[in-house]
Amino acid sequence: MDERNVEYDSRALIIDGVRKIIISGSIHYTRSTPEMWPYLIQKAKEGGLDAIDTSIFWNIHEPRRRQYNFAGNLNFTEFFLKVKEAGLYGILRIGPYINAHWNFGGFPEWLSNIPGIKFRTDSDLFKNEIQRFITHIVNIAKAQKLFASQGGPIILAQIENEYGSVLDGYGDAGQTYLQWTAKLAVAQNIGIPWIMTQQYQTPASMIDAFNGFYGHNFLPYDATNPKIWTENWTGWYKKWGDKDQIRAPEDLAYAVARFFQARGVVQNYYMYHGGTNFGRTAGQFVTTSYDFNAPIDEYGNLNQPTWKHLQNLHAAIKVGEKFLTSINATVTTNKLVKGFDGGVQLTAYTFEATGERFCFLSNALTDPQDVQLELNKTFHVPPWSVSILENCYKQIFNTATFDSYNVTSMERKLGEDAPAKLNWVWREEYMQDTLQGNGTLQENELTDQKVITQDQSDFLWYMTSVNNDEKTPKNVTLSVHVAGEVIYAFVNGAYLGTHAGTNFDFERPTSLEPGINNITLLTATVGLQFSGVAFEAIPEGIPEGPVKLIGEYSTTDLSAHHWSLKVGLNGEALKLYDPKSQSGKWWTDTLPVASCMTWYKANFEAPPGTEPVKLDLQGMGKGHAWVNGNSIGRYWVTQIADPAGGCQPLCNYRGTNNNITLCYTNCGEPTQRWYHVPRSFLYEGPNTLILLEEAGGDPSNVHFEVAGPKKKHVLFFLISTQLISNFNKIIIINNQIIIHVYVI
């Protein structure tokens, strides 16, 4: 393919002289599998997208310093080549910081262990590392001719991410770093525009862009730059213990239409397909599912009615592309009804020479409006909606009005295709060494967990001993201050209990036997912090304590004792998660339940067909799951969403004063019960499921299901205390009636 020239002005991206608006969607190559990429990209194209946006995840590409990995679902060049094959453009967000609710914000943990380094500021140590990595990524992309200037798909690139949110915390050093990153980007000489997000007053060589739920009021700092919305949030991510947070498709479409009404040029859905946080990639307390209520769900199914509604919206907007992008089109906005955020207003893009027009009629009010335009044409505009009008006369789309169509659910249990229950074998995690205080590292003080583990395991053992010189047992309270996120405590091999959180005090009563007593503390991370000023300095585990034994008359502080440390579990070292591992013996006698630190294994046949598969872990506690040695992520089924969390069967799609109205579901249920098992992880013959249960669970009811399109449990509506007098649209989904209503 010939080289492409990418330019811009305030009204368009100009690609080889053709003026364009770009509708894009985020699909992270790391959160799906290479086998899923062609389908996801094709469905994005069918949905009306022009481009696919993705980030570069430094920590999985360079998990150890100077050791790189671009295999499998880490092959970002292959991902962009698939984008190119589909005839779509690409947007590359190169980092080095990405957030993305990803472990450590995308930074490799070893980076924080470089003495004297400070992240995202004027630190030579930091700048040297990011210059090396970004240049490495750019060179790989250039070698595959991925940039538009080489004939490739990538038309925009982003450096840094949302730096304006933390800039004040870094002071003058932050300003220096900001200017330096812009120069670093330009020096890559990739021949396409660079952008920065959430960064007011960006360097002149950068285009500033916006992230948020509504982008129509955003204005670039430089008025000659295009208006770019890099993250239009289709929903929200979840942390363990959260309920589901759903964004109504009416509101999402409203936001997009308002953006292009207000001279928007590039709009990107974050996410268009959210996918799965496989392995240990999720950020602190972030769930394994990264569904994000995206138009394509975690499993690859179309999330209806959102996907279809947006497809129709995109087609309507593209009808007016020549008007929206032309410097010869006159833009006028007439306010027809006063109110918040413009009330009811008509925006017309007009070619004066021919009289041709393309219009947006928006209603930001709480009530529907009947609006009379010229030639006595009256339009009924539902509240919180935008009507798109061809030639300002023919309505071709309204953001709050759906086409009627059916969605057939494929969701079913395996039934005759597989046994109802799995046959399990099991083995305990070997802990005799750590329970007796035998570690591999020796320290004279407590220390930050991530400094020791370098994020190669969730687990770190802290072990010490104390002498009870009395002749009888001594009742005490073990008190431990934990930075995060989970602690399991043992005294003399007896399990005392567990707790989770950040910066909390764990206390349990115990008894010290006469003589030497072993104190064993196991801490577990649940992903590392991913945002904030100097977040790399936030400690994990038990970095300083205190660790105390509180007696009736005295307190003993163990913080400065001699501590023995050990990284990880013995089962991890033995690779018990790998079915090919020959280490140790698995037991077949009575299946233990509610037993902490236990490994379970079961063989199963893959369900027939090609539909996505999910694993139901109902009954389990907290742990990690593998299928055929592939990690499908952490699980934590005992984290229950607040039963009084505000979930309602009816959902008001309308925002308030540009504040999003997210609709809540799943109150009183596990935050995540089902876990995605990609088809590419499965064999035609026997397959192996392995669970590491940390806290205690019962695998008796664990089973696989086919993951079909979601069943909708929310009725989106707009209603007041008045009687309903007009039904807007009825949709039948999974034999449920979804009624969209408004009040006159």
Query: Each residue of 177-198: pLDDT tens digit?
Result: 999 999 999 999 999 999 999 9
| Mean pLDDT confidence for 321-341 | 96
The pLDDT of residue 418 is 46
8 Å CB contact between 331 and 352: no
533-553 per-position pLDDT tens digit? 999 999 999 999 999 999 999
Q: Report which DSSP code applies to 276.
A: B
Compute the average pLDDT of residues 685-693: 97
pLDDT of amino acid 375:
72
**Measured between alpha carbons, how far is 689 from 422 in angstroms, rounded to an integer?**
10
pLDDT averaged over the chain? 93
Query: 306-319 and 249-261 helices cross at what angle (nearest 10)?
Result: 20
What CA–CA distances, in Å, run from 340 to 384, 401, 658? 11, 22, 9
What is this structure's pTM?
Answer: 0.95
Q: Which residue has the higher pLDDT, 54 or 583?
A: 54
CB-neighbour burial class of residue 148 (10 A; exposed 0-12, middle 13-18, buried 19+): buried
CA distance 173 to 180: 10
* Whole-number Å distance between alpha carbons of 255 and 303: 18
pLDDT at position 1: 54
Q: Which helix (H) or strand (E) holds 573?
A: helix 570-573
Per-residue model confidence (pLDDT) at position 712: 52
Of the pLDDT bands very low, low, confident and very high (cuts 50, 70, 90), residue 615 is very high
**What is the model's pLDDT at position 731?**
39
Residue whose tokens read 């004792």: 561
Residue-wise pLDDT tens digits, 402-456: 876 544 444 444 444 444 589 999 999 999 999 999 999 999 999 999 999 999 9
- Alpha-carbon distance of 317 to 310, in angstroms, equals 10
pLDDT at 589: 86
Least confident of 33-42, 80-89, 398-407: 398-407
Q: Which amino acid is at 627?
A: V
| pLDDT tens sequence across 691-732 | 999 999 999 999 999 998 865 544 554 433 233 333 344 333
pLDDT at 223: 96
**Phi/psi of residue 463, each to 5°?**
-135, 135
**What is the C-alpha separation between 370 and 690, in angstroms, rounded?**
61
Q: Taking residues 504-516, what's their average pLDDT? A: 98
Active-site annotation, residues? 162, 231
Q: At which residue do the structure tokens 């060049």 appear?
A: 77
CB 727 within 8 A of CB 739: yes
pLDDT at 600: 98
Could you tell me the two tokens for 310? Answer: 């947006």
Q: What is the pLDDT of residue 351?
A: 98
| Per-residue pLDDT at 369 exceeds 90 | yes
Instruction: Determine what percent of the chain is predicted with pLDDT higher than 90.
Output: 87
Question: What's the confidence (pLDDT) of residue 733?
Answer: 37
